Amino acid sequence: MTALSQRATEQLQARARELNARLDQLKAAGLALDLTRGKPAADQLDLSNALDGILRGDYRLKDGTDARNYGGLLGIPEARALGATLLDTTPDRVIAGGNSSLSLMQLVVDAALRVGLWGAGSAWQRETDTPRFLCPVPGYDRHFAICEALGIEMVTVPMTDHGPDMDAVEARVAADPGIRGIWCVPKYSNPTGCVYSDAVVARMAQLPKRAAAHFLVMWDNAYAVHDLEQPSPKLASLAPLTIAAGTDDNVVQFTSTSKITFAGAGVAFLAASPSVVKALEKHMGTMTIGPDKINQLRHVRLLEGRIAQHMQQHAALLRPKFAAVLERLDHSLGDLGIATWTRPKGGYFISLDTLPGIAQRVIERARAIGVTLTPAGATFPYGADPNDCNIRIAPTFPRLADVEAATDVFVLCVELESIEQILARRLAS
């Protein structure tokens, strides 16, 4: 096939009629499909059903503590060790929290903003009226929501296939002393699925030295072990690099078991330098007596020493869904020159870029046929995609047959909106 933009107008008009007819048929079928949610499917959740009942009446930690009672603000030692495995660091640097890494991220940014993580007077709000964060785009809407809720301005920088464009990142940081941090999803980035290259990780570890004081790299390693293929891409370990660079106090790592065990009932972790852990411990001390140690202990009993095996079971369930989407994108859009998309080796998303200016229309058209996609712009700060071209596809939650059916509709919508865009431009020129 030739690229759509090379085809004759009549040919495109004919194809548009054909696509419209097919979509009308599909609409009549009354589909109700959903590709919006980065959620595990029920068969993935089943992999962790042993969690309930796993303690068998044994609530003692290795140090003798009764996990059922109050206390232990930083989490149980066993869980901190589990988090250290996930984040490739040491247990003393880890805080094991409740069920939400997002809550930990909000806690850290809020503490940096209002209290300061680096001693008296280090709160961002003392230093600047308008703290700003760099947001590689496309990115994760819930990161952006934290900034928006806390009044932190967002400045976008482009993503590449190897992580954020570090030239752009470094230039921005050098030029703007109001910039206080950057959001990173270093492995299987949400939504592109890229893995930060060793060079990007190394430059990120150096970044705080180029920035204003009290810079914060928010390293959300949500998909640390969420590989679809083996051997899997290896993410460079951040902590040794920041320790060597003297930027150890300027990086906080996050992860959770949300997409390892139960999405709503997992354990979240952060890792930071000893002094930042201490500052956070003090800050948390007025908010809670401690996390749910019982749930932490359950997770330790389920996952200790068998994370890789467990994640391979997830991968076996997820691979066909990702393959189904990619096959359809390749088959239906591969030669048309109207879209590009990522081929992630892990994580939860595929990111697709349409021709500029039609992402929202594609999503609206798909919704009219009964296929819901993540809202256009969600992958950009303030919900505003300047090119209106990025679409996040989340194939994990629906049944395989539904992923297939939804993608079949989606590719038709992309092609039709592309044709209409091309025709409209020809008419206008």
Nearer to a second copy, 7 or 142 (CB): 142
Residue 102 as a binder of a second copy (CB under 8 A): the answer is: yes
Q: Which stretch binds a second copy (CB under 8 A): 4-12, 65-73, 198-206, 222-230?
A: 65-73
Residue 146 as a binder of a second copy (CB under 8 A): the answer is: yes
How many chain residues interact with a second copy (CB under 8 A)?
A: 50
Nearer to a second copy, 72 or 91 (CB): 72
- Which of residues 83, 138, 163, 290 is near a second copy by CB under 8 A? 290
Could you write out the DSSP letters of every residue in 27-84?
A: HHTT--EE-------HHHHHTTGGGTTTTTT--B-TTS-BTTSS--TT--HHHHHHHH
User: Shortest Cβ distance from residue 149 to a second copy (Å)?
Assistant: 4
Question: For residue 239, which amino acid is it?
Answer: A
Q: List, edge to edge, every strand of the sheet that includes 339-341.
A: 339-341, 350-354, 390-393
Could you write out the DSSP letters of every residue in 81-117?
A: HHHHHHHTS-GGGEEE-SS-HHHHHHHHHHHHHHT-S
- Which of residues 31, 54, 307, 323 is near a second copy by CB under 8 A? 54
Residue 177 has a CB neighbour count (10 Å cut-off) of: 13
In angstroms and rounded to an integer, the radius of gyration of the C-alpha atoms of the chain is: 23
- Which of residues 83, 91, 98, 344 is near a second copy by CB under 8 A? 98
Q: What residues numbered 147-166 form the site for a second copy, per CB under 8 A?
A: 148-149
- Going from the C-alpha of 81 to that of each of 76, 93, 98, 266, the distances in angstroms are 9, 9, 15, 15
Tell me the C-alpha distance between 339 and 345, whole Å.
Answer: 20
Which of 354, 356, 357 has its CA nearest to residue 413?
Answer: 354
Nearer to a second copy, 297 or 325 (CB): 297
Residue 103 as a binder of a second copy (CB under 8 A): the answer is: yes
Q: Which stretch binds a second copy (CB under 8 A): 141-149, 214-222, 302-310, 328-336?
A: 141-149
Q: What is the DSSP letter of 365?
A: H
Nearer to a second copy, 41 or 359 (CB): 41
Q: Interface with a second copy by CB under 8 A: which residues?
A: 37, 39-40, 42, 45, 48-49, 52-57, 59, 66-72, 98-100, 102-103, 106, 142, 145-146, 148-149, 258, 262-265, 283, 285-295, 298
